[in-house]
Structure 1
Amino acid sequence: MKTIIIGLILIIMSTQFSQSQPGANRTPQNFTDKEQEIVHLSKEKWQWMSDKNVDELSKLFHQKAEFVHMGGHWGTEQELGIIKSGGIWYKKADIHEVSVNIIDNTAILLNRIDLLAEVGGNEVSNPFEVTEVYIKQDGIWKLGVLSFTRLMTPGDR
């Protein structure tokens, strides 16, 4: 009985803690204007990636940005080249959760997504937690980091 009570207390405390975190899984109505700007920019980025619109992406990606994938990491020029060539075609990102934290001129956006992509001619779908870091320079947000962390699903264990 003692174990059950302690377990319930821990569950309640962790639920309250997770809901008190700044930017944690808020609905669009709860984002500040600055946070909503980042959420909108991220959604545009997913569409540009799907459309292979390297012109818009090259304006968004910082020249020194880093891109972390399951198969490695590289810089802006290589990412743009991979998108343009179709080496990775980001067909559709189904976004399930979004959180944003802004610290001075840096915005950290987390997306939990299911990504449908074509990699090397093979269509794949993966659940990811995606970290996007934006830096505001001269009044313009630039993407500095895009990192994909594959999430475990029950069948993966």
Structure 2
Amino acid sequence: MAQQNESMTDTQQEIINLSEEKWQWMADKNVEALADLFHEKAEFVHMGGSWGKERELNIIESGGIWYKQTDIHEVSVNIIDNTAILLNRITLIAEVGGNEVTNPFEVTEVYVKLDDGWKLGSLSFTKLMSGGDE
């Protein structure tokens, strides 16, 4: 997992930790924690389409996509005012429609700082052409 280094700010480390927690909540199908993290207007982009918060939570809860294991290879965070943009290069082991699949992704996560803390505004998966089972 990501290690804090001298040039990383506390805010950057907080976002990395939050992202790692999110992957665990997705694996555990913890929709209560995710519902609190996901902003009401959040957008999710997958290989099969894009949709909002409620559909994403329903897909996770029903097991339509089960994010079984996320191996994080690289992570970076840029903070712009009250917005954090996190990039993860991951290998995702998921169960989709009853079939286990492994894919390499570059995942973009956008967090917005509100009065009640950081909220996920966007989660976007871009499949990479190498780095995992095709």
1:79 aligns with 2:44: no
Q: Which of 123, 129, 132 is equivalent to 1:146?
A: 123
Q: Which of these residues, 66, 81, 86, is aligned with residue 89 of structure 1?
A: 66
SS in 1 for 2:5: helix
Question: Which has more radius of gyration?
Answer: 1
How many percent identity over aligned positions?
73
Alignment of 1:24-103 (within 5 A): 27-30=3-6, 31-103=8-80
Q: Which amino acid aligns with 2:47?
A: M
Closer, same or farther: CA 124–62 of 1 in aligned 2, 3 Å: same
TM-score, scaled relative to structure 1:
0.80
| Corresponding residue SS for 1:28 | coil
Give the structure with the larger strand fraction.
2
Q: CA deviation at 1:154?
A: 7.8
How many residues were matched structurally? 132
Unaligned runs of 5+ in 2: none
Higher helix share: 1
- Residue 59 of structure 1 aligns to a residue in which SS? helix
Letter aligned with residue 104 of structure 1: D
- Say whether residues 1:119 and 2:96 are aligned partners: yes
Q: In the alignment, what sits opposite 1:137?
A: 114
